[in-house]
Amino acid sequence: MLKCRRWLLVVTVIGLLVPLYAAQGKEIVRVTITGPGFDEAVEVTLASELAVFREMRFDEGMIALPPTDPAAPFFEVRLGVGVENQIIATDVNYFYLTPDAGYMYYADVIGGGSDAEGKWFRLSAATDLALRDFLADRGADIPHRRDAGGRFPFWNWLTALAG
């Protein structure tokens, strides 16, 4: 009977610690961006700015073929993943922002590994527009989406005039 109570005590303590450990889960703590329009790397560490990358979504899973020319201009985005300010691993992604959609190539994981390495993903429309706005606000040279639907009204007006 005493062994049973000890066993229950151990199981209870472990059960209480598991949620505590889960609460300290890994998340994106630093983002470094290079690409067209940036003279030097852009470092992002503010939680409000990291939200764009933490909330990243994709339209579909991995896509079979590259959606764009891999030699086209792209943004290299390094996502430092860790706990608080300690980086455990860094995802290296290439973002291609075409006039029709945004795509991500999962290039590498420094300090880890992933089945997604070497695969392409299509960004959801909301993620694509948020990323474009984020990069444009920092001076990046990015193409506007054709279907921005009022997000770039002046641009839409100019393209309509050009015919």
Bridge partners of 82, per DSSP, are: 27, 87
Identify the pLDDT of residue 97: 87
Identify the pLDDT of residue 44: 94
Alpha-carbon distance of 54 to 98, in angstroms, equals: 22
- The structure tokens listed for 163 are 């015919």
Mean pLDDT by 10 residues, the chain (163 residues): 41 32 66 94 93 83 73 90 90 88 91 89 89 91 63 45 48
Q: Look at residue 162 and give its three-state secondary structure.
A: helix
Complete DSSP assignment for 123-159: BPHHHHHHHHHHHHHTT---PPPTT-TTSSHHHHHHH
Alpha-carbon distance of 15 to 27, in angstroms, equals: 23
Identify the pLDDT of residue 34: 96
Alpha-carbon distance of 12 to 17, in angstroms, equals: 9
Alpha-carbon distance of 32 to 34, in angstroms, equals: 7
Identify the pLDDT of residue 35: 94
Identify the pLDDT of residue 94: 94
Identify the pLDDT of residue 60: 67
Identify the pLDDT of residue 146: 60
Identify the pLDDT of residue 152: 47
Identify the pLDDT of residue 18: 33
- CA distances to 19, 77, 103, 152 from 92, rounded to whole Å, are 30, 6, 14, 29
